[in-house]
Amino acid sequence: MSLYCGIACRRKSFWCYRPLSTYVTKTRYLFELKEDDDACKKAQQTGAFYLFHNLAPLLQKSGHQYLAPQHSLLELERLLGKFGQDSQRIEDSVLIGCSEQQEAWFALDLGLNSSSSINASLQKPEVEKELTGSFTELRKALYQLNVKDASLLSTAQALLRWHDTHQFCSRSGQPTKKNMAGSKRVCSSNKIIYYPQMAPVVITLVSDGTRCLLARQSFFPKGMYSALAGFCDIGLS
Ligand SMILES: [Zn+2]
């Protein structure tokens, strides 16, 4: 019996150790890419890109589900070339995560005006046709994506939106420049560093024990309901 317990405990610690180790390794790797532009650029060579157009992710319909296709750097360069854009536009991409095998994942918006390139946004229908997908409003597709893609695309959309709305320094009015990973922006004039902000929110599930109070807005897709949620104001407690 004691031998059995010994094996069980050892097994338990083995399984406890592995996810923690993977988490630490991934976090360290992502931190390195956020701090080192050269390492981040190198990671793009073997990385995967999720594409957006005006903050709507490129999705492919598969039955009742949506899939979020990934594209390699080479495929992306080919796509940009086909639409007369230079590959410098890839510098607008933001790091959104990595796999357990340290394949870095990036997101790039082809519809927003580029800050690192003189080229205008790409035309949505042409890109959709070329990539056999459609740029879909994330909010409407969220529950038809798997958990990993839903989380990743939400992160990507928030980060892309933050970069799009923080292109100028609020102190000097001068342009800010993102680092390669997109984890910060720096003012070209007074070197103020801006980091992406988080907006605290509260979500509440009201229940009488067996039933939940849910609500829906008119634009929600059929069958979609939500618990009650709201933003926290400054100083609210
Ligand atoms: Zn400034």
- Which tens digits make up the pLDDT trace of 69-114? 999 999 999 999 998 888 899 999 999 999 999 999 999 999 987 6
91 is a domain residue: yes
Give me ligand 1 centre to Cα 208, in Å: 52
**160 and 211 share a domain?**
no
Give me ligand 1 centre to Cα 185, in Å: 11
What CA–CA distances, in Å, run from 126 to 25, 54, 59, 83, 131?
40, 15, 15, 9, 9
Give me ligand 1 centre to Cα 191, in Å: 6
Percent of the chain clearing pLDDT 70 (strictly above): 88
- Assess contact for 44 and 104: CB atoms under 8 A: yes
73 is a domain residue: yes
Give me ligand 1 centre to Cα 115, in Å: 16
**206 and 154 share a domain?**
no
159 is a domain residue: yes
**15 and 123 share a domain?**
yes
Give me ligand 1 centre to Cα 160, in Å: 21
Integer Cα distance of 90 and 174 in angstroms: 23
The domain boundary, picked from 167, 186, 209, lies at 167
User: Confidence class of residue 6 from pLDDT cuts 50, 70 and 90?
Assistant: very low
User: Confidence class of residue 20 from pLDDT cuts 50, 70 and 90?
Assistant: low
Integer Cα distance of 94 and 91 in angstroms: 8
Higher-pLDDT residue of 7 and 119 is: 119
Give me ligand 1 centre to Cα 52, in Å: 29
**120 and 51 share a domain?**
yes
- The predicted model gives 132-138 an average pLDDT of 95
Q: Which residues of 145-167 are buried (b: 16+ CB within 10 A; e: fewer)?
A: beeebbebbbbbbbbbebbeebe
- The predicted model gives 176-200 an average pLDDT of 94
In the chain, the number of structural domains is 2
**148 and 223 share a domain?**
no
Higher-pLDDT residue of 235 and 23 is: 23
Domain range enclosing 135: 2-167
**130 and 235 share a domain?**
no
- The predicted model gives 165-187 an average pLDDT of 96
Give me ligand 1 centre to Cα 158, in Å: 23
Average pLDDT of the residues of the chain: 87
DSSP H helices, the chain, are: 2-35, 37-46, 73-82, 124-131, 138-141, 147-165
Q: Is the pLDDT of residue 146 over 60?
A: yes
148 is a domain residue: yes
Give me ligand 1 centre to Cα 184, in Å: 14
Integer Cα distance of 224 and 199 in angstroms: 24
Give me ligand 1 centre to Cα 193, in Å: 9
* φ/ψ (deg, to 5) at 215: -135, 160
- The predicted model gives 151-163 an average pLDDT of 96
pLDDT value, residue 112? 85
User: Confidence class of residue 33 from pLDDT cuts 50, 70 and 90?
Assistant: very high
152 is a domain residue: yes
What CA–CA distances, in Å, run from 56 to 98, 107, 111?
21, 11, 9
pLDDT value, residue 201? 80
Give me ligand 1 centre to Cα 183, in Å: 18
pLDDT value, residue 3? 41
**153 and 209 share a domain?**
no
Give me ligand 1 centre to Cα 230, in Å: 32
102 is a domain residue: yes
User: Confidence class of residue 237 from pLDDT cuts 50, 70 and 90?
Assistant: low
pLDDT value, residue 17? 53
Give me ligand 1 centre to Cα 110, in Å: 27
**73 and 156 share a domain?**
yes
**57 and 158 share a domain?**
yes
Q: Is the pLDDT of residue 27 over 90?
A: yes
Integer Rg of the chain from CA: 21
Q: Is the pLDDT of residue 4 over 50?
A: no
**205 and 122 share a domain?**
no
The domain boundary, picked from 144, 167, 190, lies at 167
Q: CB-based contacts of 41: which residues, under 8 Å, 6+ apart?
A: 180
- Assess contact for 154 and 198: CB atoms under 8 A: no
**25 and 126 share a domain?**
yes
The domain boundary, picked from 167, 188, 217, lies at 167
* 3-state DSSP assignment of residue 57: strand
Percent of the chain clearing pLDDT 90 (strictly above): 65
133 is a domain residue: yes
**234 and 159 share a domain?**
no
